[in-house]
Chain A
Amino acid sequence: SQQGEEDPQALSIQEGENATMNCSYKTSINNLQWYRQNSGRGLVHLILIRSNEREKHSGRLRVTLDTSKKSSSLLITASRAADTASYFCATDDLKDTGRRALTFGSGTRLQVQP
């Protein structure tokens, strides 16, 4: 299974509401990142939180990291229709190849209704 599992798989909310997405991972990490992907497009980096950090803010985004539970959450406050997208967490892992690379979670599809 993938390193990062996210829940919920899909989330539908009204504009102005907050959206919370969770990510769990299995191995120890140096950092965890969150990305956004609009349908059929590339990824946009949202925020990176290092393993020694517990919380980080960026505009309407708030990310928490609990390394004891191997989990992270992304909170989007005061959501807008333009926030409609898929959101992925990603951890940097040591691959079987001996190299470090990102492993992406399964993603949460967020739909914000105007």
Chain B
Amino acid sequence: GAVVSQHPSWVICKSGTSVKIECRSLDFQATTMFWYRQFPKQSLMLMATSNEGSKATYEQGVEKDKFLINHASLTLSTLTVTSAHPEDSSFYICSATWDRSTSYEQYFGPGTRLTVT
């Protein structure tokens, strides 16, 4: 149980275009989803936290207008990278939990590798 999927697993896009990444909890209802970014050989950096039905909370330094997050249902959150640039190329990972009050018991998706040319 507690499976999280991401789609697509990899994507290549041209500079200036927008890319949408989906994160789905397949067998549980995710009240909270987290979006992370990971550059090569580096750790995961939290970008934002999204609760179903409310606006996402972004970490310091993450541009809200560039990384649009929508958590419209209890099983789906989307991250849209708008006007992507080569420096946005990274590995994006989501995680999900059904407990609003704690951050443990997070279940991670397999990640999406974004390459902007």
Task: Mark A residues whose CB is within 8 Å of B.
Answer: 2, 30-31, 33, 35, 40-45, 48, 88, 92, 95-107, 109
Contact = CB atoms under 8 A, between A and B. Distances in A.
7 shortest A-B CB distances, which residue pairs?
A42-B110, A43-B108, A92-B103, A97-B57, A100-B103, A104-B44, A104-B43
B43 A95 contact: no
A42 B43 contact: no
Contacts of B91: 40
Contacts of B42: 106-107
Contacts of A33: 104
A103 B46 contact: yes
Contacts of A99: 49, 57
Nearest to A89: B43
A30 B104 CA distance: 9
B46 A101 contact: yes
A109 B101 CA distance: 32
A42 B44 contact: no
A44 to B, nearest CB: 8
B57 to A, nearest CB: 4
B24 interface: no
A40 B113 contact: yes
Contacts of B60: 96
B103 A106 contact: no
Given A88-B43, A101-B46, A104-B43, A48 B93 contact: no
Interface string B41-67: 111111001000000011110000000
B93 to A, nearest CB: 6
Nearest to A6: B43
A30 B43 CA distance: 21
